[in-house]
Amino acid sequence: MNYMEIYNQWLESDYFDADTKKELENIKGNEKEIEDRFYTDLEFGTAGLRGIIAAGTNRINIYTVRRATFGLANYIIKNTTEEEKERGVVIAHDNRHMSREFCLEAANTLAACGIKAYIFDSLRTTPELSFAVRKLHTIAGIVITASHNPPEYNGYKVYWEDGAQVMPEIASAITAEVNAITDYSTIPTIKDEQKDLVVMLDDKQDTAFIEAVKTQVIKTELVKKVGKEFKIVYTPLCGTGNVPVTRALAEVGFENVIVVPEEQNPDPNFAGIEYPNPEEHKALTRGIALAKAEGADLVIATDPDCDRVGVAVKTTTGDYALLTGNQIGAMLTNYIIESSKEENKLDPKATLVKTIVTSEFGADIARANNLGVINVLTGFKFIGQKIKSFEESGDRTYLFGYEESYGYLVGTHARDKDGVVASLLISEMAAYYYDKGMSLYEGLKELYKKYGYFKEKTIALTLKGIEGLAKIKEIITYFRENDIKEFNNTKVVDLKDYQKGIDDLPKSNVLKYFLEDGSWIAVRPSGTEPKLKFYVAVKGQDESECAGKIDNIESDINKIIDQVK
């Protein structure tokens, strides 16, 4: 059927509710809108769904959530033992519009398929879901969240029994099951006798998670020493982080934590923040203003599902500067290594795990300390996979894992990035420098003096709709099929095409150019948004030299894009 036939089917079928039909009636005559909503099914990607909340097959709504869950249930039923199936699935959700409704729809659909579903009484963080999968020994997990997307979005992520997001082979198999569901009315609905399969969790899970997070503190006495005076401004950006982050900070000894009042409570509209992304300066506007008023030493922000962390630090001028994900990751790498050495806790088999689009700053620090470094594809599940393989082989131990997009995991209590433990360790690290009479910003400058100046930039080209998707494919195909010899008048010495399945990694639609001066450029389509991303990383003597390199490389990239357009 074409998109108009599917649209009419939704209008005429008794399966779809009156509110859905009313919404669809309101777009009658708007063929472009109808086309965008129905020309395809919302793609079940490498870990699940993400889309605009609205009626239609290419939107996220109760029906597409049911369909995704039925597909997951069918995969579990067909590919696990009876014992594994009986372990059930745990579900968490954030503060977004429809998150609770989607959580309940998923739970009821699983129960209708004879699979136990554990749910929380209200919103919880993504890292706690990852922890709960392993703690409850479930076969899978689901998180209802769209991370840091704008308010009109929501999403659905699937985790497997190891606590990490499903790996590509499982994701592909679940996708096939989802795609096989062409008639929504065939999705089973929960019966009275199945309602006991939906189990409400108590607060024991919360305490177990917080206790696991607290064990990652390295310098407990230092925190107790400066915790009363060291001042932190924190914002959960109206999401899930406020309760666990402030609890963890308080219980280890940080007593001077000020939460941004306008952003402390869950709000699906994010108190007017258009893009609740902690890497964006605008998202931290209130937090920085409060820090200036209070003379705070550190500003921390977590995204709505509390798996990413942004940081603003006081500079030598008294202003506050945002650190990048690469800077935070490198500083945490150095702090964990140096502190572990001081405490005689550094395992010589310890290995740093980072993604292929993450700076070499942290990797250089690890290598300088004779530690291993492993690169994985973009997506924290690949870091989680390495933790599992280290534990199984015993050849390596996990030191720390991070990605440039503000995701970090200290410890192995979770298998996904954890904004709670990262907030705790960032605060401890900042307190360490504070105790030395230094700011985190001055600590960063020290590392630059020792290891060289690193600078990165991500260039995101947003192209929406059918035409946008086609253009993204056309541009990356151009880069793949044309022999680009230089950027910034510097020779390309190597090109890695991860689509070919190289470096013992799964195939992925990523290109990475390596330049003669040590700079690199990576090109990849976003897995969750209609964007083509270019990652540029350079190293030099200082900020000015690096900024010049990035500007020239960006100009060359734009010239190539213009040729394709």
Q: Which amino acids are annotated catalytic? A: 147
Terminal-to-terminal C-alpha distance of the chain: 32
Is 344 strand, coil or helix?
A: coil
- How far apart are alpha carbons 410 and 398 in whole angstroms? 9
506-521: b or e for each residue (b if 16 or more CB lie within 10 Å)? eebebbbbbbeeebbb
Q: Report d(CA 135, CA 118) in Å as an integer.
A: 12
The residues, ordered by sequence, that sit 6+ positions from 21 with a Cβ below 8 Å of its Cβ are: 10, 11
* Chain centroid, CA 380 distance in Å: 7
Which helix (H) or strand (E) segment holds residue 523: the answer is strand 520-525
Q: If you count DSSP H runs as helices and E runs as strands, how many of each does the chain have, helices first?
A: 19, 21
User: 352 φ, ψ to 5°?
Assistant: -85, 135
DSSP state letter for 139: S
Distances (CA, A) of 27 to 37, 64, 151, 287: 10, 19, 21, 40
The pair phi, psi for residue 322, each rounded to 5°, is -80, 135
Query: Smallest Cα–Cα separation from 336: which of 286, 409, 236, 282?
Result: 409
5, amino acid identity: E
Distance, CA of 174 to CA of 178 (rounded, Å): 6
Is beta strand 198-200 parallel, antiparallel or unpaired with respect to 117-119? parallel
Distance CA 515, CA 537 (A): 10
The dihedral through the CA atoms of 289, 292, 294, 297 has a sign that is: positive
